[in-house]
Amino acid sequence: MGTLYAGGLIFDGSGEISHDQGVMVEDGKISEVAQMAKFEGFAGERVDTSGGTLLPGLIDCHVHLCYAAEGNPMAALDQMTAGQITMRVLDHAQMTLASGITGVRDCGGRDYLEFAVRDACNSGRQLGPTIRASGRVICMTGGHGNKNGRVADGVDEVIKAVREQIHAGSDLIKMMATGGVMTKGVNPEDAHYSAEEMAAGISEGHRFHRTCASHAQGSEGILNAVRGGVDSIEHGIFMNDKCIAEMKERGTYLVPTLSAVRNIIANKDNGIPAYAVEKSIRVTERHTQSIKDYYKAGGKIAMGTDAGTPFNQHGKNAMELAYMTEIGISPIDALIISTRNGADLMQLTDRGTIAEGKAADILIVDGNPLEDIALVADKKNHRMVVKNGIRIT
């Protein structure tokens, strides 16, 4: 016999809020969503959601589970052994799950150590979110992420680098189209890979059924990635009208990561490298405007935080919803972006909505988050997290 969740509101992930309905969970899946009259006489376990809202578990499409949000996460990682890194990845994954995030996409780790945790969580041997991991990022010589990434120059070498990630077990391919904030000596506005290199890497990833994400901040690099067929643009700081039009036409997702720059600026005097602070301050207004413009244009957006970057803590991922609403994204759209859209981008066809046959990844919060997004964004307002039908908190 299953468990019936009933009494409060239900947000299904696609934009509908329902009253007087129950959700039946059996064997880790949602077996039925129906009016309460259908469950009259049910004598099994019940979870009373009165005064609250049941919604799909949140999905964060951009995290770095190896990093621990220090002022200089990469330098901190250099002082750790492989075993220590693997254990911290598991810690971060479990902290993330406990905060209502039931699915994550790891967009760049260290020596594939995160894969062991991914496999343990996805198989159920360890409690954790559903994890998709990119392995090593692919970048040009001297490019953003070159210290830990797979450096590749020229079309042939980029193709080889993609094949290496696939051979290692990567779920997606991450390519660095531009400079970035956290690498010294590179400019976020500069395109790094040529259009031909980007297209070759993305095509090879797709040939082997991998989605492709691109760190892309400057407009030229964004266009190189989009025209190459990339599935998602990460950050998208300097999107212009042409970027927005071409991304929308191709159905390219934007993963904004507002949390990343915001947390660097808020903690600029706490050991963050000066170059990262300077670049964050320089790009923040343009970043916000680009996201607003893409949202206004009706572009596809999926939630991502860049968790693990300076003072961007695992377990506080849901604050991204508050940051999205602060710049003008409606609460209902912020919820869709953080549930259904994330599942769509990550190709998690059995998750992201509250519907019959879906995995029972559930978050229950106080009140109605359409009236106050903080009820989801701040985990102190969370009542319960359920993963594959198992109560986590």
- Put simply, whether the predicted model's pTM sits higher than 0.85 gets the answer yes
Can you tell me the distance from the alpha carbon of 253 to that of 274, in angstroms, rounded to the nearest whole number?
31
What's the pLDDT band for 353 if we cut at 50, 70, 90? Answer: very high
Q: What average pLDDT does range 151-177 have in this prediction?
A: 98
Where are the alpha helices (H) located in the chain, listed in sequence order? 73-77, 82-98, 114-123, 155-168, 195-207, 219-227, 241-250, 258-266, 274-296, 319-326, 331-337, 340-345, 374-377
- Output the six-digit token pair for 335: 């919820």
Q: What domains are defined for the chain?
A: 3-56+352-391 (2.30.40.10), 58-317 (3.20.20.140)
Q: pLDDT per residue over 46-59, tens digit each?
A: 999 999 999 999 99
pLDDT at 134 over 90: yes
Confidence band for 1, pLDDT divided at 50, 70 and 90: confident
pLDDT in tens, 16-42: 899 999 999 999 999 999 999 999 999
> What is the chain's mean pLDDT, rounded?
97
pLDDT at 136: 98
Share of residues in the chain with pLDDT > 90 (%): 99
**Residue 264: band (very low, low, confident or very high) from pLDDT cuts 50, 70, 90:** very high
Q: What is the pLDDT of residue 16?
A: 84
Each residue of 314-331: pLDDT tens digit?
A: 999 999 999 999 999 999
Radius of gyration, CA atoms only, the chain: 20
Strand extents, DSSP E, 107-187: 130-133, 138-139, 150-151, 172-176
Per-residue confidence (pLDDT) for residue 156, from 0 to 100: 98
For the segment 191-203, the average pLDDT, to the nearest whole number, is 98
pLDDT for position 237: 98
Give the rounded percent of residues in the chain with a pLDDT score beyond 70: 100
Residue 333 pLDDT > 90: yes
